[in-house]
Amino acid sequence: MSGSDPGAQSTTAATQAGPEHPQGPIVTHLRLARQHCAAGDFAAAERLCEQMLRTAPEHPQVVQLRGEMLWAQGRHQEAIAMLAPLVARHPRAASAHFALGNALHSAGRYSEAEKHLRHAVALEPRFAGAHCNLGLALAQLGDSEGAIQAYERALALEPNLAVARANLGVALLNANKPNDALDHLRRAAALNPAAVNNQLFLALALQQIGKVAEALSCYERTVALDPNLALGWIGLGSVLRALGRFAEAATAFEKALAIDPELGAAHHGLATVRRAVADAAELDRLRRIMASPAGSAADRGTAGMAMAKILDDAGRYDEAFAAAIEGSRLSRAAQLAANIRYDHESFRTKNDALMRVFTPDFFARTRDWGNPSELPVFIVGYFRTGSTLVEQICASHSQVHVVGESRNMPEIAAQVQRTVPEQWTANLFRALADRHVEHLAALAPGKLRVVDKMLDNVYRLGMIAAMFPRARVIVTHRDGRDAALSVLMHQFGQEVAHATDLLDAGRRWHETERVTAYWTRCLPLSMHHIQYETLVGDFENEARKLIDFLGLSWEPACLEFYKTERAVSTASAWQVRQPLYASSVGRWRNYAKHLGPLCGVLCIDPEAPTGTRPADIA
């Protein structure tokens, strides 16, 4: 995720280690002025400050308090103008640097804010609030690791500093570490349950790790605390959609739009929970959002994807394609601004290196390293290839538990990759595998199979084979033209960099097929390939083959997958709750005249039948 940290800038100990000044009767007036500030009566505090400054025009604590009041009222430039001379006169006053740093941060002058907040912590190393706000400045400057370290230092000094706890949680969330973020966000919400942002970001973390029911409760608390927070309603709509409660989700998205009619995410949410009508007024509204320079690139891009969905539903394919291209262009601009890029050649090079490590010889040497449990099942492949439908069929079986797109294997892989392959040991792999199997068993007591649908685990199958030699792998395939087009026309998270360009989507599909072909030749695991077009065309037979591959007896409920109640957080949440339909097979033909360049990167003839494999790896 992206975005600023949730906590208002900390004012903890704002006057500690402040500028020195002889004590006198003015102290009484200062104390009273601070009491007025705490009560929000800035006018009374201002009158007292003016009275004190007539007596002592440069009294440092009065000047600082007045600057802090200006900052608290949003008068940031005036605060800077008052506090900068104070810092120049008292360069060793930690609290003066802190106050100026806060004002500079609020004015968007992050580099200058960092400089003064660093001075504050250098002068007063135990100043928790200054460490916390230094983290805020570093986060804005793109130094996520520095921000995390600053928040951790603040919490080491003051463990119950709720704003630092919340900001650390969000920094970890932004670093794609939702499991690590969760504990901090829970504690922040417990320390300050009335803080709306604490509930909002806790809900987001829970949603990311698949705890959808708990996320729903947090979003409900969020909108109860602040019914005018559009992001709260959008989050609520997204979890209601995941739970299949589409009418309620539509209501939530509509409430977000009532607050802010220009929210592209809310328009897109509405388009994904019902078959949209190409209403002229709605399309005009989306065009205005896309064209508005005042809106963020991300929100404008999301509006474009909403328009593409509406036009596609209406059969206006040329217009839909143009909207998807423009929406994706805007979304990519937002990615680039966040330093998120897709480098296909680098990605391919990494996969070549992976294949040089995970060879038949490696598998022969490590055949006894892992845990022999048959519990783990992995669904892998490229996006939009029918994986959620396959997962839903599995979930409809009484002996199967599904965990959605679990981050466990990426986190395990990160631990393994801290050392080079020459340092890998049987003890390391077995310990990690045992821990994971214990986790699965606790998660799904009594179940025979636990299905993980993190599709990019296709690039981790070598490690998975060494850890879980009796695991089962299901690989989903779909015509590259349909898959890449579908990726282009859906709204993914900002981190999915290849989804914002049709040719990159095609390149990534081809790379997934290339790596899959390698694993099919050498991986010592049970693998089952499912072609989406075949699954749709011969559903019962293919579903039976799937359940048989899992080593389970057939259950008729698997044919009525759309009745199975569970959270589905992918772009297929709507589709898998409908009876099977074939309209998405060969959908690429509606856009054929636009797909020539795509077919080139897919290595598929533009006129080839649906389901054709790439010519270079067929």
Contact in structure between 396 and 555 (CB atoms under 8 Å): yes
Contact in structure between 603 and 618 (CB atoms under 8 Å): no
Tell me: pLDDT of 11 over 50.
no
Q: Which two tokens stand for residue 31?
A: 């104390």
Q: Which two tokens stand for residue 207?
A: 């949603």
Average pLDDT, stretch 495-503? 94
Contact in structure between 331 and 302 (CB atoms under 8 Å): yes
Contact in structure between 7 and 162 (CB atoms under 8 Å): yes
Separation CA 596–CA 321 (nearest Å): 14
* pLDDT-derived band at 494, boundaries 50, 70, 90: confident
Tell me: pLDDT of 602 over 90.
yes
* Rg, the chain, Cα only: 28
Separation CA 507–CA 345 (nearest Å): 10
**How many C-beta neighbours within 10 Å does residue 313 have?**
15
The DSSP element (H or E) to which 381 belongs, if any, is strand 376-381
According to DSSP, the residues that pair with 376 across neighbouring strands are 450
Tell me: pLDDT of 7 over 70.
no
Q: Which residues contact 243 (CB under 8 A, 6 or more apart)?
A: 212, 213, 216, 565, 567
Amino acid 33 reads A
**The pLDDT value given to residue 19:** 53
E strands, 63-151, in order: none
Here the CATH number for the domain that contains residue 548 is 3.40.50.300
Amino acid 404 reads G
* pLDDT-derived band at 8, boundaries 50, 70, 90: very low
Separation CA 489–CA 231 (nearest Å): 23
Average pLDDT, stretch 176-203? 92
The total domain count for the chain is 1
**The pLDDT value given to residue 66:** 84
pLDDT, averaged across the chain: 89
Average pLDDT, stretch 206-226? 92
Q: Which of 294, 283, 524, 511 is nearest to 381 (CA)?
A: 511
Separation CA 281–CA 269 (nearest Å): 17
According to DSSP, the residues that pair with 452 across neighbouring strands are 378
* pLDDT-derived band at 513, boundaries 50, 70, 90: very high
In a domain, 518, yes or no: yes
Question: Cα 582 to the chain's mean position, in Å?
Answer: 31
- Which region, left, alpha or beta, applies to residue 494 given φ > 0 means left and ψ of -120 to 50 means alpha? alpha
**The pLDDT value given to residue 578:** 53
Amino acid 279 reads D
Contact in structure between 96 and 82 (CB atoms under 8 Å): no
Q: Which two tokens stand for residue 354?
A: 């992976």
| For the chain, percent of residues with pLDDT exceeding 90 | 70
According to DSSP, the residues that pair with 451 across neighbouring strands are 377, 402
pLDDT in tens, 131-167: 999 999 999 998 999 999 999 999 999 999 999 999 9
In a domain, 500, yes or no: yes
User: CA 332, 338, 344 angle in degrees (round to 5)?
Assistant: 55
Contact in structure between 265 and 259 (CB atoms under 8 Å): no
SS3 state of residue 358: coil
SS3 state of residue 343: coil
In a domain, 300, yes or no: no
Q: Which two tokens stand for residue 118?
A: 């660093």
pLDDT in tens, 529-577: 999 999 999 999 999 999 999 999 999 999 887 776 655 555 455 454 4
* pLDDT-derived band at 15, boundaries 50, 70, 90: very low
In a domain, 440, yes or no: yes
Q: Which two tokens stand for residue 257?
A: 């739009």
Q: Which of 12-21, 217-226, 549-558 has the lowest mean pLDDT?
A: 12-21
> Could you tell me the CA-to-CA distances from 4 to 147, 205, 338, 610 in Å, in that order?
12, 15, 12, 45
Contact in structure between 527 and 541 (CB atoms under 8 Å): no
- Give the DSSP letter string of 8-25: PPP-TTTTTT------ST
Contact in structure between 450 and 440 (CB atoms under 8 Å): yes
pLDDT in tens, 89-100: 999 999 999 999
pLDDT in tens, 21-50: 444 567 777 788 788 777 788 788 788 777
Separation CA 274–CA 574 (nearest Å): 8
**How many C-beta neighbours within 10 Å does residue 580 have?**
15
**The pLDDT value given to residue 520:** 96
Q: What is the largest CA-CA distance in the chain?
A: 91
Q: List b or e across 268-289, with b for residues whose CB sees 16 or more CB atoms inside 10 angstroms.
A: bbbbbbeebebeeebbebbeeb
Q: Which residue has the tokens 């592209």?
A: 264
Question: Cα 215 to the chain's mean position, in Å?
Answer: 14
- Give the DSSP letter string of 279-295: -HHHHHHHHHHHH-TTS
In a domain, 572, yes or no: yes
**Whole-prediction pTM:** 0.77
User: CA 80, 84, 89 angle in degrees (round to 5)?
Assistant: 155
Provide the residue range defining the domain that includes 532: 350-602
* pLDDT-derived band at 497, boundaries 50, 70, 90: very high
Separation CA 114–CA 578 (nearest Å): 53
Tell me: pLDDT of 5 over 70.
no
Q: DSSP letter at 608?
A: S
Tell me: pLDDT of 218 over 70.
yes
Q: Which of 57-61, 276-280, 457-461 has the lowest mean pLDDT?
A: 276-280
SS3 state of residue 461: helix
**The pLDDT value given to residue 568:** 52
Separation CA 213–CA 473 (nearest Å): 28
> Could you tell me the CA-to-CA distances from 229 to 238, 251, 256, 393, 478 in Å, in that order?
15, 15, 8, 37, 40
pLDDT in tens, 412-448: 999 999 999 999 999 999 999 999 999 999 999 999 9
Q: Which residues contact 260 (CB under 8 A, 6 or more apart)?
A: 230, 266
In a domain, 592, yes or no: yes
Average pLDDT, stretch 508-514? 97
Long-range contacts of 33-36 (CB under 8 A, 24+ apart): 33/62, 33/65, 34/65
Separation CA 371–CA 353 (nearest Å): 26
Separation CA 421–CA 410 (nearest Å): 17
**The pLDDT value given to residue 13:** 38
Q: Which residue has the tokens 């490696």?
A: 362
Question: Cα 83 to the chain's mean position, in Å?
Answer: 38
According to DSSP, the residues that pair with 372 across neighbouring strands are none
- Which region, left, alpha or beta, applies to residue 384 given φ > 0 means left and ψ of -120 to 50 means alpha? left
In a domain, 409, yes or no: yes
